[in-house]
Amino acid sequence: MTKKAFITGITGQDGSYLAELLLSKGYEVHGLIRRASTFNTSRIDHLYVDPHDPTAKLFLHYGDLSDGVRLVTLLAEIQPDEVYNLGAQSHVRVSFDEPEHTADTTGTGSIRLLEAVRTAGIRPRFYQASSSELYGATPPPQNEDTPFYPRSPYGAAKLYSYWITKNYREAYDMFAVNGILFNHESPRRGETFVTRKITRAVAAIKAGTQEHLYMGNLDSVRDWGYAAEYVEGMWRMLQVDEPEDFVLATGTAYTVRDFLRISFEHVGLDWEKYVKFDERYLRPTEVDALVGDPSKAEAKLGWKATVQPDQLARIMVDADIKTLECAGTPWIDKVNLASWTPEAVL
């Protein structure tokens, strides 16, 4: 029997890699997409096959995590074996500007989806995209037993989702797990997260189309891994016998300043000549240091990150240079760019 998966957030960075992974494993993949006035599927366009084609295995459905009734209808129709809840307002800085919306999608969205599973009377395995932002002010190293202390509306909303996932596991005997993932990045990372903001700027500065890069706090420490590897960890969490929560991380500590230095050095530039400070990128409360201890995932899932942050920075800079070079070249279409993967430079 072909397994069916349902993914919220399929148009995002992780959703696109997860869809790729599941399709490669023979799954039929169903994704929730939001209606927008412009196309928002560029990260998955290369996977899409017209549904009239009998080989089609990827199906997209309009819906929203704020619309519980739609979630029930869809789940009852699709009857998935696995549900991955990756949909969220995922930007920490933006969550201070839109706290209520963040609570509604990143927090309440999860209970809508869990309730939809229950109401539809199905028993899929359920993955919740939890985050190292739960640890917030608690110093590293952080593992599954570290106390939580969120520092943003985003972190607080994810904390609710974490606990409600655990509650549904205990209350209804659901196979529902939290993947507590530390920062993970890729050439498909949203352009306003710090790593991608840096690597795009490096490419543009090198090409002579940008002069400066305005940044906020350079002292934050993060544990940056490669997103394509992390989705494998998500999948493995749903394949074990017992539902448990897991940290996925590299275990390394780099500052934003380190990431700047490595990225600029990769193209032979000195970052200090180009980077300027702008207080608009500061957060009302900052998360100073996140460094994960992924030993449980290694022991029980056999999962280990292989791409380290310095290598990741170079992968992302190379990809952004390539994207700039290809931009405006008529014979390279969006599909080619979206399907370009950095494995060649690993």
Q: Closest residue to ligand NAP, Cβ-based?
A: 12
Which is catalytic among the residues 84, 127, 154, 168? 154
Is the CB of residue 63 less than 8 Å from the CB of residue 32? yes
Stretch that binds ligand F7E, among 89-97, 266-274, 322-330, 333-341 (CB under 6 A): 89-97
* Shortest distance in whole angstroms from residue 262 CB to ligand NAP: 18
Pairing of strands 213-215, 275-277: parallel
For residues 266 and 314, the answer to whether their CB atoms sit within 8 Å is yes
Minimum Å distance from CB 14 to ligand NAP? 3
Among the residue ranges 1-9, 20-28, 139-147, 190-198, the one whose residues contact ligand F7E (CB under 6 A): 190-198
Neighbours of 87 (CB within 10 A): 26
11's contact among ligand NAP, ligand F7E, none, with CB below 5 to 8 A by partner kind, is ligand NAP
- Strand 28-33 and strand 4-8: the pairing is parallel
Q: Is 212 annotated as a binding residue?
A: yes
For the question of residue 27 being annotated catalytic, the response is: no
Tell which residue, 156, 161, 158, 137, has the closest CA to residue 147.
137
Q: Which does 236 bind (CB under 5 to 8 A by kind): ligand F7E, ligand NAP, none?
A: none
d(C-alpha 96, C-alpha 102), whole Å: 9
End-to-end CA distance of the chain: 35
Range in contact with ligand F7E (rule: CB under 6 A) among 120-128, 129-137, 140-148, 204-212: 129-137
Nearer to ligand NAP, 33 or 174 (CB): 33
Rounded to whole angstroms, the Cα distance separating 301 from 248 reads 10
Residue 120 or 130: the one with the smaller Cβ distance to ligand F7E is: 130
| 99 binding ligand F7E? (CB under 6 A) | no
Q: Which of 25, 97, 170, 192 binds ligand F7E (CB under 6 A)?
A: 192
Phi, psi (5° rounding) for residue 246? -135, 145
Q: Which helix (H) or strand (E) holds 19?
A: helix 13-24
Asked if 131 is an active-site residue, the reply is yes
Distance of CA 112 to the CA centre of its chain: 20
Query: Annotated catalytic residue: which of 16, 90, 95, 131?
Result: 131
Give yes or no for a contact between 286 and 220, defined as CB atoms under 8 angstroms apart. yes
The catalytic residues are 131, 133, 154
Residues binding ligand F7E (CB under 6 A): 90, 92-93, 131-133, 182-183, 192-194, 197, 215-217, 220, 222, 256, 281, 283, 286
Binding residues for NADP(+): 212
